[in-house]
Each structure stands twice: as structure tokens, then as C-alpha cells.
A = this chain, B = another copy of it.
Amino acid sequence: MAMAKIIPTFLLRLIALGATISATAVMVTSHDSTTVLNLTFVAKYTNSPTFKYFALTNAIASGYGLTTIFLPSKTSLWRLLLVLDLVILCLLDSSISAALAIGYVGKKGNTQAGWLPICGQVPKFCDHANAALICGFVATIVYFLLVLYSLHSAVNLLTTGKA
């Protein structure tokens, strides 16, 4: 029972850690430039506050993931972990949603607002951002599962007296 409980949590934390580190790294290294009428236009993640927020949130989640993965399985901090997992889930969910919204405008533009798509000009930047968004999405799903899993264990203990 104990092993069966520890292994999926450990595995989920490992996948989440990989995903958040990848999301941060891929977003931070996104860079492309294009020249229009002798003017060079550089696209990088720091141009958008949303992408900066995305990179920061995934970096925080990576640091948190790295800390929790080394904690012993029977830690007295599990109550704190439960709340912190929820906070990280909310942060990741928020950052991926915001980045997706901006990424969508970057790809499709918005005719009514007069915002033109930019992915045609800076495809390498968009590919990087896309890959980072996929990693961020995976991380969010995994943290959702982690919180659900903790809830399930807590509720099981509550109702049947055994985890």
C-alpha cells in the first residue's frame, strides 16, 4: 500500500519537474529576428509581460518541484505541501492560460483590434513559444492530478479510516 502510494506521487512530481524546467528553458531561449525595410525587429520572451510571467512561474514551480522531490515520503510537512501544491497549480494554470491567450493573438492576430499576427515574421520564436506552452500545459495537468491524488488520499482516510 505504502509503496503504491509513494511511487505515483514521486513519478508525477518527476514529470512535473521535467515539464516546468523544459518550459522555463525553452521560453527563455526563444529568440528570432526579422528585417523589414532595413529595420531589424527582434522577438524574444522579454517583449511580452505575459511570457515573462510564464517563465517566472515555471521557474518557481521548478524550484518548488526540486525541493519536494528530495523530501522523505513520510514528512510532517504534508499539510503545507498540500496547500503549496494547490498554490503552484493555480500559478501554472494562470501562466499557461495567459500565455496561450497571447500566443493565440500572435498566431492568428485580431482583426477587430487591428493586431496583426507575427508568427509569419518570426517563426523560430513562435516554435519555441509553442513548445514552451506544451511543456507548461503538461506541468499544469500533472499538478492538477497531484492535488486530486492528495484529496483522494485525504478523503479515503476520512471515510474508510485507511489510505
Contact = CB atoms under 8 A, between A and B. Distances in A.
B104 A114 contact: no
A105 B104 contact: no
Tier of interface size on chain A:
35 or more
Contact of A154 (B106, B113, B154): B154
A83 interface: yes
Interface in A107-162: 110, 112-116, 118, 144, 147-148, 151, 154-155, 157-159
Contacts of A115: 105, 113-116
Nearest to A104: B49
Interface string A79-103: 1001100100110011111111110
A35 interface: no
Contacts of A114: 115-116, 118
Interface stretch (A6-14, A16-24, A40-48): A40-48
Interface of A: 41-43, 47-50, 79, 82-83, 86, 89-90, 93-102, 104-106, 110, 112-116, 118, 144, 147-148, 151, 154-155, 157-159
